Amino acid sequence: MIPKSAQLSVAAIALLCVCSSVLLSSSADAVDGNGLTASTESSVIQGNSAYCYVYIESLEDIASLDIQVHYDTEMIDLDINNAYNSASCSMYDSSLSNGCLNFSYLFDDGGSDSQTLLFYFMYTVSSEAAPGTTYFDILVNEAYDQSLDPADVSGCRCSFDIAERTVTKNCSIYTNSTQSTSIDGTFDLSYSFSTNQILSGSVTVTYDSELFELVSLTNGSFLDGKTVDSNTSLTGSVYLSFVSLEYGNGYDLMTLRFRTLQNVSTSSQISIVVSELYDDELNLVQCNGCSTTVNIAYDNTYVEDKPAMYCESSYDAQADTVTVQINLEANSHLGAGDFILNFDTSKLTYSESTKGFSPSFFNVNDKEVGEGKLKFSIISMEDIVASNTVLTVVFTPIHACTDAETTLTLTGSGLTDSMTEAIILNIRGTSQTIPLRHSYVDTVTEPTCTSGGYTTHECSVCGHSYVDSQVDALGHDLIHHDAKAPTCTEVGWDAYDTCSRCDFTTYHELAALGHDLVHHDAKSPTCTEVGWNTCDTCSRCDYTTYQEIPSLGHDYVATVTQPTCTEGGYTTHVCSRCTGSYVDTYTDALGHDLIHHDAKASTCTEVSWEAYDTCSRCDYSTYQEIVALGHDLIHHDAKSPTCTEIGWDAYDTCSRCDYTTYHELVALGHNLVHHDAQSPTCTEIGWEEYYTCSRCDYSTYLEIPVLGHDLIHHDAKHPHAPKWVGMPTIRVQGVTIPHTMSLPY
């Protein structure tokens, strides 16, 4: 079944889940925007103190802030003197009232855009605070940016658990775990604390009052200097309380001596309960009680109503001795007897013995104490009737790492009265607890800033240890360190404190900003100016990837200008890439290299000159032209051409030169007329085909003579006389043409 409060918190968690999912889904701005964060221990124990640190995501552009830290004053205690500013600002103020810690800030100009510690404070959780979750609600009351507009800065809740204070100190109380006894026997129960770092408390011991009676209560060294109140008159219980202002040195609380009242065989518990132990800081010291099992042995030698010779033992912590006192009850009528006190030599070493009375003869024989036997003999001339302390024997105990019980037995023989009549005595030994004693080696642990110092005592035999001599923690020895702003390449921090002794620090590192890169395009170098490759520089620091490319220098090409007759020479240097140039290496003008030219006489058509000079290298000249004379003309009349002779137009010639405007007109040639051929007859001439000229008497006519008759004779029939004709002629005509050569037609 779930308790009601648990049901409530389950419901509250469910409600929180709903709320947070709504918040997350509906306030994306708040997630992205500026805000406060805070951190502290996840868990603080009731009554303890811790620090809470409050950060802001960014102070960039923030001009003022007013922050309130709300908390539950019933659970948490704050001191304004334990609240520390950590932010760099022009002004701040802090105050504390009614569960509200207030920090207000003014910033001249905005701060870092990375998370910045604003302030921190120490708080103490009340010892009575209920365990569970509690929180600081850190609210932004006011926030303005540098333009004095409201700035959006969200608050936060810083939760932590209050853990229940567990008992930080424990102690134990020790006594015998078992005890043997028998009728009339006495035994001691010594109670010791495991620590002496207790100022007050009380114990109650309970026992079976039908089996045991309380004989005595002896305060132990633990109670030295303490105010003790004890009550031993109660039936079946013993009560003791104590209080003091300072711790004592001892650990032994008290010793109770009981006597066994019945001759039975049984066992019974004697228990101690411890309550309300407090140390000097009022811390409750947890201490469980303890019990002793007392075994009562039936004594079959016990004779009812007979007197006894019995032993009582005790341990003296201061002297570290066990004392055994042998007593004789009244009315024993002892006259003679030999006695042996037997003891365990592994637990007790005989030291000395002292006679308690002086009968007629009393001999103590300690020759066999090495074997655990102390013998003594008594002879009395008269019956002993008084009660007496017979012998007090002192032993040195041999301690172990646990309490050890050792049993001493007493035996008697030859018991008679002074008249040598046998008598009966109840002779009883005793048992004694030898408290544990460790072989402690002490180690001192010095206090540190946060933890107290103490001395550890550890047993070299069994390893048991305890701690005492506690001293308080030193607290931190704070050294203040100023804030350092982060740079592009180096981390910074808010103002913080460290401890000179330990590694405590409120240091909060601020990450390096990284460079704010500005890109630069490449520039080629020129003849006279440097260039660079593409590079980046930082707007905040001198970081750069700039690599200078040196200027090229001019690439001069030399051009030599030779000197002329009239002008000097020089060398011109012009840069192949730019307009840069200069001139040097001047040389003198050469002067003219003169060549002489003779004069030339005048003609009709050509210019003439006087004698003159020119220069072989340049166009220098003293030449002066004289114009031509012109022709001295003679007129000639025209002549027409004929068939066979040339003609000309009227023309001029020069009397001084062969100048002429003569233009020859060619011969006309014949204008031929055709004539057919005419064969000759016997009586008439003939001619070949021929041509004649219509303009002149030119003719190709060639006459063919008459043929004459070709006579044939005939005998006288008709008498005929013969006839004769002359020979044919050819006429040829030719002409001659002046200044020309011509062929005959």
Q: Is there binding between residue 6 and Zn ion (CB under 5 A)? A: no
Q: Is there binding between residue 122 and Zn ion (CB under 5 A)? A: no
Q: Is there binding between residue 693 and Zn ion (CB under 5 A)? A: yes
CB of 186 to Zn ion, least distance (A): 29
Nearer to Zn ion, 592 or 597 (CB): 592
The Cα diameter of the chain in Å comes to 280
Q: Is there binding between residue 543 and Zn ion (CB under 5 A)? A: yes
Q: Which residue is closest to Zn ion by CB? A: 682
Sign of the Cα torsion 38, 41, 45, 48 reads negative
List the structure tokens of 169. Answer: 């100190």
Residue 360 makes CB contacts below 8 A (sequence gap 6+) with 379, 380, 381
Task: For the chain, state the CA radius of gyration.
Answer: 80
Q: Draw the binding track, 350-389, toward Zn ion (x: CB under 5 A; -: no contact).
A: ----------------------------------------
Q: Draw the binding track, 428-457, toward Zn ion (x: CB under 5 A; -: no contact).
A: ----------x----------x--------
Q: Is there binding between residue 682 and Zn ion (CB under 5 A)? A: yes
Residue 372's SS3 state is: coil
Identify the bridge partners of residue 159 per DSSP, sorted by sequence position. Answer: 135
* Interacting residues with Zn ion between 400 and 419 (CB under 5 A): 401
Nearer to Zn ion, 480 or 695 (CB): 695
Q: Is there binding between residue 504 and Zn ion (CB under 5 A)? A: yes
List the structure tokens of 101. Answer: 């810690």
Nearer to Zn ion, 287 or 538 (CB): 538
Q: Is there binding between residue 480 and Zn ion (CB under 5 A)? A: no
* Interacting residues with Zn ion between 30 and 69 (CB under 5 A): none
Stretch that binds Zn ion, among 114-122, 404-412, 586-594, 729-737 (CB under 5 A): 586-594
Identify the bridge partners of residue 312 per DSSP, sorted by sequence position. Answer: 325
Nearer to Zn ion, 490 or 664 (CB): 490
Residue 410's SS3 state is: strand
CB of 312 to Zn ion, least distance (A): 29
Count of residues that interact with Zn ion, criterion CB under 5 A: 44
Is-contact 428 300, C-beta < 8 A? no
Out of 317, 502, 667, 685, the only residue in the binding site for Zn ion (CB under 5 A) is 502
* Interacting residues with Zn ion between 609 and 648 (CB under 5 A): 615, 617-618, 620, 631, 643
CB of 745 to Zn ion, least distance (A): 9
Closest CA relative to residue 548, chosen from 535, 539, 564: 535
Stretch that binds Zn ion, among 113-121, 136-144, 300-308, 535-543 (CB under 5 A): 535-543
Stretch that binds Zn ion, among 172-180, 290-298, 666-674, 732-740 (CB under 5 A): 666-674
Out of 163, 499, 574, 704, the only residue in the binding site for Zn ion (CB under 5 A) is 499
Out of 501, 507, 557, 583, the only residue in the binding site for Zn ion (CB under 5 A) is 501
Q: Is there binding between residue 656 and Zn ion (CB under 5 A)? A: yes
Concatenating the DSSP letter of every residue in 251-293 gives -EEEEEEEEE-----EEEEEEEEEEEEE-TT-PBEEEE-EEEE
Nearer to Zn ion, 483 or 527 (CB): 527
Out of 14, 16, 461, 471, the only residue in the binding site for Zn ion (CB under 5 A) is 461
Backbone angles phi, psi at 286, to 5 degrees: -75, 130
Stretch that binds Zn ion, among 80-88, 132-140, 254-262, 689-697 (CB under 5 A): 689-697
Nearer to Zn ion, 389 or 564 (CB): 564
- How far is it, in rounded angstroms, from Cα 381 to Cα 363? 15
Residue 635 to residues 208, 610, 655, Cα–Cα distance (Å):
200, 33, 10
Stretch that binds Zn ion, among 163-171, 300-308, 383-391, 655-663 (CB under 5 A): 655-663
Concatenating the DSSP letter of every residue in 307-320 gives -EEEEEEEEETTTT
CB of 524 to Zn ion, least distance (A): 13
Backbone angles phi, psi at 7, to 5 degrees: -60, -40
List the structure tokens of 695. Answer: 């303009």
Q: Is there binding between residue 604 and Zn ion (CB under 5 A)? A: yes
- How far is it, in rounded angstroms, from Cα 494 to Cα 484? 6
Residue 339 makes CB contacts below 8 A (sequence gap 6+) with 309, 326, 375, 376, 377, 378, 410, 411, 412, 413, 427
Nearer to Zn ion, 463 or 738 (CB): 463
Q: Give the CA-trace dihedral at 633, 638, 639, 640, to 10 degrees.
A: 140
CB of 501 to Zn ion, least distance (A): 5
CB of 587 to Zn ion, least distance (A): 16
How many Cβ atoms are within 10 Å of 413's Cβ, its own excluded? 10
Out of 330, 462, 471, 549, the only residue in the binding site for Zn ion (CB under 5 A) is 462
Nearer to Zn ion, 163 or 527 (CB): 527
CB of 437 to Zn ion, least distance (A): 8
Out of 10, 22, 530, 578, the only residue in the binding site for Zn ion (CB under 5 A) is 578
What does DSSP assign to residue 31? H
Is-contact 537 544, C-beta < 8 A? yes
- How far is it, in rounded angstroms, from Cα 63 to Cα 60? 9
Stretch that binds Zn ion, among 3-11, 148-156, 256-264, 522-530 (CB under 5 A): 522-530
- How far is it, in rounded angstroms, from Cα 617 to Cα 640? 59
Q: Give the CA-trace dihedral at 531, 537, 539, 543, to 10 degrees.
A: -120
Q: Is there binding between residue 575 and Zn ion (CB under 5 A)? A: yes
Closest CA relative to residue 61, chosen from 19, 33, 84: 33
How many Cβ atoms are within 10 Å of 715's Cβ, its own excluded? 5
- How far is it, in rounded angstroms, from Cα 228 to Cα 256? 15
CB of 295 to Zn ion, least distance (A): 26
Residue 246 makes CB contacts below 8 A (sequence gap 6+) with 199, 225, 280
Out of 100, 297, 541, 629, the only residue in the binding site for Zn ion (CB under 5 A) is 541
Nearer to Zn ion, 165 or 515 (CB): 515
- How far is it, in rounded angstroms, from Cα 254 to Cα 220? 4
CB of 627 to Zn ion, least distance (A): 15
Backbone angles phi, psi at 15, to 5 degrees: -65, -45
- How far is it, in rounded angstroms, from Cα 54 to Cα 52? 7
Nearer to Zn ion, 135 or 659 (CB): 659
Q: Is there binding between residue 459 and Zn ion (CB under 5 A)? A: yes
* Interacting residues with Zn ion between 157 and 176 (CB under 5 A): none
CB of 14 to Zn ion, least distance (A): 44
Q: Alpha carbon 505 to chain centroid distance?
A: 18
Q: Is there binding between residue 709 and Zn ion (CB under 5 A)? A: yes
Out of 695, 701, 737, 740, the only residue in the binding site for Zn ion (CB under 5 A) is 695
CB of 742 to Zn ion, least distance (A): 14
- How far is it, in rounded angstroms, from Cα 197 to Cα 285? 9
CB of 97 to Zn ion, least distance (A): 31
Stretch that binds Zn ion, among 16-24, 144-152, 588-596, 717-725 (CB under 5 A): 588-596
- How far is it, in rounded angstroms, from Cα 180 to Cα 429? 11
Q: Is there binding between residue 273 and Zn ion (CB under 5 A)? A: no
CB of 536 to Zn ion, least distance (A): 10
User: By the criterion CB under 5 A, which residues form the site for Zn ion?
Assistant: 401, 438, 449, 459, 461-462, 464, 476, 488, 499, 501-502, 504, 515, 527, 538, 540-541, 543, 554, 565, 575, 577-578, 580, 592, 604, 615, 617-618, 620, 631, 643, 654, 656-657, 659, 670, 682, 693, 695-696, 698, 709
